[in-house]
Structure 1
Amino acid sequence: MKFKGLGGAWVLSVAAVLAGCGGQDPTTTGASGSAGGSVSASQADNGPSFSTLGTRTSTARQVPITKGNGQKWFDYDRPVDFPGVTALPTQYIKMSDGAELAATISLPAKADGTAADGKFPVILIQTSYNKRVGSYVPALGGADPYLVQRGYATVVVDVRGTGNSDGVWRAFDEREQQDYGEVVNWVANQAWSNGSIGVYGVSYLGITAMLTASQGNPAVKAAFPIVPIGDGYRDIVFTGGQVNPTFIPLWLGLVTGLGSVPFDSLQTDPQKGLTQIVQHLLSAVNDFQGPTIVKAVTGDSNTAYDGDFWKTRSPLEVAKNVKVPTFVVGGLHDLFQRSEPLWFENLKQNTTTKLLIGPWTHIQAGGVPSDGLPADAVPAMNHIELMWFDQYLKGMNAKADSVPNVTQFVQGYGHYVSTSNWPHPNMQATALYLHGDNSLSANQPVAGEQSNTILQAPVFGLCSLSTSQWTAGIAGFVPLPCFSEDTFNQIPSANFRTPVLADDLYLNGPIEADVWISTTSLDASLSVRVSDYDPATGKSLAITNGLLTASHRAVDDTRSRFINGLRIQPWHPFTQAAVQPVNMNEPMLLPVEIFPTSAMIPKGHQLQISIASSNLPQGLPPLVTLVKGAVGVVTILNDDKHVSKVVLPVVPNTALK
């Protein structure tokens, strides 16, 4: 990467940084929760190395850098085996506690519409959105005729407390997870099942797939999760310590609205159906949905802070137990953008794992209105699914293991690019520093550089990429330019830009912003956006962003990710014990985790870092914290004693060719 109109020595210093030379940042201490950014000398002296990101139960690990494997995409398809599809009457699966879960079974059919003879491998889908609704909206849980006609039975189950199933819904709690294993045992022993099961689904359905796969039942042979969550707390519900005010109420309302009506029961047993409606609605109001929202907003210690409640609802914690071949699908602007590459990173050591990330919001990844495939040799999604299940459920030589390990759409480049690993094997962590003149460069700030101030208020970001992203893409149907451009959000932000790029800049991986601030309030928040700024038009296109509450700034370096000596992904504990005081007008460092991306900023443009005091679509502090920091002024410090920087995942742009 080179910048226009700059002296040769300065360009060489940038090149040195981008090459990963001299990776240590002399201004940082590496202490947990401090100005962390460097690793120990013993780690740094080993040369360039990658570390993983830890979890609640595991620390980060050093891993070797593996290079490309030359794998290529190919299309996979085959003729139908059966002319039709038939659905059996609703079946009820009795759980060990007596609750009955409703299931729809779709089987390959003969020309006369009757079920075909024989036993079939099974695609298992477990949904909270009502299987009857899924029959009309497949992403919510419906059989795909394309797969059924090629010799697969499909079982769609309403999880406990939703749809036509008994019980109380508590979103992935221990009892629901126990149900998954009991459902697998039932499916494996049915007359139409050959005992070979693949778990599949979009969103909630993908999460149930991964939790089911983690239980190690030998009947489960493969997994194909589309946009699955990894960490319930960090991914979305309390990103940066702030509760999501857009998607979470929308989601809880969706489960309540769709899952409360037992269509099948009302038809076959009206009394049972009416009882289920009352049970589902009362549990929503009194047991889970309503109380959970109240607890989150009011800062309940067991909900607003990380702990056992969120550990149970964070499938990455049990990723080590997943041993079956798994194909993970994610989106650059998905709700679970943070964890989808982490799934690949955690699973690849256990089993054959592939990762595909498209230019999608949540609903786009589920094919609403379209996922845009095939494109750039990446086949249609159902062709990929068929290839995966043919290989690992039917034992056919579909060559599913020979497609690229990682395929990502690169924003700004406009194409899918494949490689062997995530993080990208050629990526190096690169620090660029914030300056008082609003520039962003490889030069560290010096004494006397001016600070920048921003207004402290919880209402910024209302019309932004975040509005589209955190409504699962629904708001994106409204044709407002601010849902893709960051221009509007530059107004309340402090904006830092590199000089004009003389070459393309390719970013691929997680990002960290280490920002020194002081505040006139008793707490504060930082929203840090990364965007592509076009100086010719004055417009900036959003790429990714991060969010952090100042009192949650503590970092556990043993679980954070370091690459070539720089911390590039901080691990915040977010526990009540880890909360740090915020003193008025006292400098403090906020290490902000910015969600991973793959993007190219073209030559002639500038990389822009925009810092604001809030991002309302993504997060709002719980009430007690909000009151402490609702109004005031945040000062961004960038001098020799308070070195603010952004650590970028830079990949040579030759990797795009």
Structure 2
Amino acid sequence: MLTLAMVFAGLTTAQAQTGWTARGEEYPEVVTETDVPIPMSDGTVLRGDVQRPADDDGKPVEGRFPVLVTITAYNKSVLNGPASVAFGDSSYFVKRGYVQVTVDARGTGTSGGSWAAFSERENTDAGEVVEWAASAERPWSNGSVGMHGPSYMGISQLFAAANRPAGLKAIFPQVPAADTYRDVVASGGALDVGFIPLWLGLVTATGLLPPAYGVTEPDNALQMYLSRIQGATGFTAPMLLSATLGLDSAFDGPFYAERSPINVVDRIDVPTFLVGGEYDLFQRGTPMLFDRLRERGVPTKMVFGPWDHLQASAGSGFEDAGYGSLQEVQLRWFDHHVRGLPDPELDTDIPPLTWHEIGSGQWHQAQDWIDEQRAENFQLSGTSLPGLPGQLVTDDVEQGRSNVAPVPVAGLCTRSANQWTAGLPNAIGLAKLCEDNRLNDLSGAVFETEELSEPLRIRGPINAHLNVSTPTGNGMVSVSVSSVSPTGEVNRLTGGWQVLSHRALDESRSRYLDGQLVQPHHPFTKEAQDLLQPGEVTPVDVEVFPTGAVVPPGHKLRIAVQAYDVPHLLPTVRDLPAALSPVTIHTSAENPSYVTLPAIPASS
């Protein structure tokens, strides 16, 4: 039995500013059983690697332990092999008294079946894997299970928890999606061509690595490869083709609803620790999950930091939040909720929300994502010309018309390009070349305030309400919100996108602050699509993804509007002709264009 003396023996040197210190290793070695068959209720066999604590001779330690589960589509052999350097070595937990079970999702890696990402069947699998790990039939399991992992592995945790499997005690999803369509597949109704093809290619490629059981079970290995071909031809290729052509996969509907954790989050009741990134693919979705779980009283925490997808997945810089490294905080979370160790200071040490403020680099704490904020409007005023911005004002709007030309390279050298390729440019040192947005802003219309006399602090989602017209009846606007330094550097804080024909607003699912719209919800269905009349001036609400930031005194708040955001988004083949025409932004008392920010009062 674990004693308090054992818990605090061998303390690590990593010390969080809270005064809590992670405990050291209990066991010297790890032993791994690979490709363990895990039968599902429909007869399909998934396979997992089981890592157990071992003694100095490498023999498994007898006894039952709490279990941590990770379900991946990226091949467990890669995750526990080469990728462990970047994404964390699971032996950290095993040597501290856990069993780690890493499972290939259906139709990926070494598991049977055909891959259909986050389908109802795969989501059912997630719950069944947890119950398998918690079962008394596993001689190494004490029946108490936690889950961890980033991205795909984080989303799988949410679907598993929504199934309420026996034995699941807590989860720790890093950078999970909430609404797959709006978060990443088609932000604003335009197709993501930066991340989605990379992701689909990664899953397909890692699925072709030879399984360890190929020599002993050649028939099963052959069946696995055939299923990979079926997955590529039956799921991946048809989805990409349909979306590119502007057919069913280009619109929101049951396909994406089934794959969106926000639609099952109300069934999650286990303690949940979320990690989100201000430059992450799921910058929009992770805070929405936090909100919904908090509203229902589920024990929930979120650390929202200045990270892209790869950084947040690896936990790079997590210690800057002040609680220790990512693995140390995971250990603390699981020790308390899964292992059952008393930790009376956990909730006082780590409040529900910890967020990083872009512009100051400071970390702040709060109880909720939206609490003390107030809606603050800035109106677009006058006309923007190349190198001569229009104004952002609080009153006395000047009438103007600003043309946004369709520049197909807009967005190419921006923080958006790094964000929507999952942080790959940053990983190879190229992103630093594109941190200043001023050159990109020349490709669109720009509006900015005078230099601010007081800091403007914001946290949460933003709405850009634009009155627009176009000669073709369609097109896209890409909106960025930035801070401009006294010497002219443009720091992009966040962005949003909207296809004009998808401007229909679902008020019941939109978010309001002080009675003002801050997060519009558009249906993005084929039925709701509505072309503008050529030349007609029409209001369009653009959902600008949430952030936490400050525009310091002496800086200017800037809103820039382009017609493209490459390599992030491209129009479908059907919408391409309309995307080649300019969009005009109108500013006047009769046709107001403005941005609504969730501003934090100076006294907070």
Q: TM-score band, normalised by the shorter chain? A: over 0.9
> Displacement of 1:318 after TM fit?
0.5
Does 1:580 pair with 2:530? yes
Which amino acid in the other structure matches residue 490 of structure 1? D
Aligned counterparts of 1:159 and 1:141: Cα–Cα separation in 2: 18
Query: Residues 415, 487 of structure 1: CA spacing in aligned structure 2 closer, same or farther, 3 A cutoff?
Result: same
Does 1:469 pair with 2:419? yes
> Displacement of 1:112 after TM fit?
1.6
Q: 1:652 aligns with which of 592, 601, 604?
A: 601
Q: 1:501 aligns with which of 434, 439, 452?
A: 452
Aligned counterparts of 2:479 and 2:62: Cα–Cα separation in 1: 58
CA contact (8 A) 1:140 1:202 kept: no
Q: Which residue of 2 aligns with 1:77?
A: 22
Does 1:484 pair with 2:484? no
- 1:476-500 CA-to-partner distances (Å, cap 9, x unmatched) read 2343545322112111111111110
Q: Which residue of 2 aligns with 1:639?
A: 588
The answer for unaligned runs of 5 or more in structure 2 is 1-16, 384-389
Q: Which residue of 2 aligns with 1:317?
A: 263
- 1:15-57 CA-to-partner distances (Å, cap 9, x unmatched) read xxxxxxxxxxxxxxxxxxxxxxxxxxxxxxxxxxxxxxxxxxx
Q: Which residue of 2 aligns with 1:542?
A: 492
> Displacement of 1:456 after TM fit?
2.5
Aligned counterparts of 1:92 and 1:529: Cα–Cα separation in 2: 49
Tell me the SS of whatever aligns to 1:495. strand
Aligned counterparts of 2:273 and 2:508: Cα–Cα separation in 1: 29
- 1:621-640 CA-to-partner distances (Å, cap 9, x unmatched) read 2111122x232221110011
> Displacement of 1:81 after TM fit?
1.9
> Displacement of 1:421 after TM fit?
1.1
Aligned counterparts of 1:115 and 1:345: Cα–Cα separation in 2: 42
Aligned counterparts of 1:485 and 1:179: Cα–Cα separation in 2: 45
- Name the TM-score, length of structure 1 as normaliser: 0.85
Aligned counterparts of 1:281 and 1:142: Cα–Cα separation in 2: 31
- Once structures 1 and 2 are overlaid, which stretch shifts more, 506-515 or 131-140? 131-140
Q: Which residue of 1 aligns with 2:177?
A: 229
Does 1:188 pair with 2:134? yes
> Displacement of 1:457 after TM fit?
4.3
| Percentage identity across paired residues of the two chains | 37
Counterparts of 1:228-627 in structure 2, within 5 Å, are 228-284=176-232, 286-301=233-248, 303-348=249-294, 349-367=296-314, 371-398=316-343, 399-402=345-348, 403-423=350-370, 425-437=371-383, 438-445=390-397, 449-476=399-426, 477-536=428-487, 538-627=488-577
Q: Which residue of 1 aligns with 2:166?
A: 218
Which amino acid in the other structure matches residue 173 of structure 1? S
Aligned counterparts of 2:510 and 2:572: Cα–Cα separation in 1: 25
Query: Residues 330, 139 of structure 1: CA spacing in aligned structure 2 closer, same or farther, 3 A cutoff?
Result: farther
Query: Residues 115, 88 of structure 1: CA spacing in aligned structure 2 closer, same or farther, 3 A cutoff?
Result: same
- Once structures 1 and 2 are overlaid, which stretch shifts more, 600-609 or 254-263? 254-263
Which amino acid in the other structure matches residue 318 of structure 2? L
Aligned counterparts of 1:528 and 1:639: Cα–Cα separation in 2: 19
Aligned counterparts of 2:165 and 2:72: Cα–Cα separation in 1: 19
Does 1:104 pair with 2:49? yes
Aligned counterparts of 1:162 and 1:625: Cα–Cα separation in 2: 34
Tell me the SS of whatever aligns to 1:624. coil
CA contact (8 A) 1:510 1:648 kept: yes
- Once structures 1 and 2 are overlaid, which stretch shifts more, 275-284 or 488-497? 275-284
Query: Residues 462, 123 of structure 1: CA spacing in aligned structure 2 closer, same or farther, 3 A cutoff?
Result: same
Counterparts of 1:83-102 in structure 2, within 5 Å, are 83-102=28-47
Tell me the SS of whatever aligns to 1:268. coil
Which amino acid in the other structure matches residue 30 of structure 2? V
Superposed structure 1 runs of 4+ greater than 6 Å apart:
139-142
Does 1:151 pair with 2:97? yes
Q: Which residue of 2 aligns with 1:60?
A: none
CA contact (8 A) 1:376 1:415 kept: no
Q: Which residue of 2 aligns with 1:50?
A: none
Query: Residues 332, 452 of structure 1: CA spacing in aligned structure 2 closer, same or farther, 3 A cutoff?
Result: same
Q: Which residue of 1 aligns with 2:68?
A: 123
Aligned counterparts of 1:234 and 1:269: Cα–Cα separation in 2: 42
Aligned counterparts of 2:22 and 2:87: Cα–Cα separation in 1: 23
The answer for unaligned runs of 5 or more in structure 1 is 1-71
Aligned counterparts of 1:415 and 1:281: Cα–Cα separation in 2: 49
Query: Residues 514, 74 of structure 1: CA spacing in aligned structure 2 closer, same or farther, 3 A cutoff?
Result: farther
Aligned counterparts of 1:625 and 1:73: Cα–Cα separation in 2: 53
Does 1:134 pair with 2:79? yes
Query: Residues 482, 142 of structure 1: CA spacing in aligned structure 2 closer, same or farther, 3 A cutoff?
Result: closer
CA contact (8 A) 1:512 1:569 kept: yes
- Once structures 1 and 2 are overlaid, which stretch shifts more, 179-188 or 388-397? 179-188
Aligned counterparts of 1:200 and 1:228: Cα–Cα separation in 2: 11
Aligned counterparts of 2:287 and 2:561: Cα–Cα separation in 1: 25
Aligned counterparts of 2:213 and 2:355: Cα–Cα separation in 1: 43
Query: Residues 252, 318 of structure 1: CA spacing in aligned structure 2 closer, same or farther, 3 A cutoff?
Result: same
> Displacement of 1:233 after TM fit?
0.3
- 1:497-520 CA-to-partner distances (Å, cap 9, x unmatched) read 111011221111110000001112
Tell me the SS of whatever aligns to 1:456. coil
> Displacement of 1:202 after TM fit?
0.7
Query: Residues 139, 197 of structure 1: CA spacing in aligned structure 2 closer, same or farther, 3 A cutoff?
Result: farther
Which amino acid in the other structure matches residue 144 of structure 2? S
- Name the TM-score, length of structure 2 as normaliser: 0.92
Q: Tell which has more relative contact order, 1 or 2 (C-alpha 8 A, sep 6+).
A: 1
Aligned counterparts of 1:178 and 1:146: Cα–Cα separation in 2: 29
Query: Residues 183, 389 of structure 1: CA spacing in aligned structure 2 closer, same or farther, 3 A cutoff?
Result: same
Q: Which residue of 1 aligns with 2:12?
A: none
Which amino acid in the other structure matches residue 29 of structure 2? G
> Displacement of 1:374 after TM fit?
2.0
> Displacement of 1:444 after TM fit?
5.0
Which amino acid in the other structure matches residue 163 of structure 1? G
CA contact (8 A) 2:106 2:122 kept: yes
Tell me the SS of whatever aligns to 2:597. strand
Query: Residues 480, 377 of structure 1: CA spacing in aligned structure 2 closer, same or farther, 3 A cutoff?
Result: closer
